[in-house]
Amino acid sequence: MTTPVVRLANVQRYYETPAGTVKALDGVDLEVTAGEFFAIAGPSGSGKSTLLNLIGMLDRATAGTIHINDRLVTDLTRTEQALLRREGIGFIFQSYNLIPVLTVLENVEYVMLLLDWNKKERRDRARAVLAEVGLEGLENRKPRELSGGQQQRVAVARAIASRPSIVLADEPTANLDVATSMALLDMMEELNKIEKVTFVFSSHDPKILKRAGRLIHVVDGRIDREEKR
Domain tally, the chain:
1
Query: Mean pLDDT, the chain, as a whole number?
Result: 92
Residue 6 lies in a domain: no
Residue 151 lies in a domain: yes
Phi, psi for residue 34 in degrees, rounded to 5: -60, 135
52 with 168: CB under 8 angstroms?
Answer: yes
Does residue 1 carry a pLDDT above 70? no
- Cβ-proximal residues to 156 (8 Å cutoff; 6+ apart), any chain: 92, 133, 167, 172, 184, 187, 188, 191
CATH of the domain at 115: 3.40.50.300
202 pLDDT band, cuts 50/70/90, is very high
Residue 98 lies in a domain: yes
Which of 1-5, 123-127, 166-170, 207-211 is the least confident region? Answer: 1-5
153 with 92: CB under 8 angstroms?
Answer: no
Residue 10 lies in a domain: no
Does residue 3 carry a pLDDT above 80? no
Residue among 153, 65, 186 nearest 73 (CA): 65
Residue 65 lies in a domain: no
What is the DSSP code (8-state) at residue 144?
A: G
Structural domain that includes position 188 = 34-60+76-228
Does residue 154 carry a pLDDT above 70? yes
CA torsion 62-67-68-70 (nearest 10°) is 170
- Kindly state the percentage of the chain with pLDDT values over 70: 100
Residue 121 lies in a domain: yes
Residue 190 lies in a domain: yes
- Kindly state the percentage of the chain with pLDDT values over 90: 66
Residue 24 lies in a domain: no
Q: Tell me how crowded residue 11 is: count the other CB atoms within 10 A of its CB.
A: 24
pTM of structure: 0.89
Per-residue pLDDT tens digits for 36-89: 999 999 988 899 999 999 999 999 999 999 999 999 999 899 999 999 999 899
CA 211, CA 147: separation in Å to the nearest integer? 24
Does residue 132 carry a pLDDT above 90? no
pLDDT at 81: 93
Biggest alpha carbon distance in the chain? Answer: 54
Over range 148-154, report the average pLDDT.
91
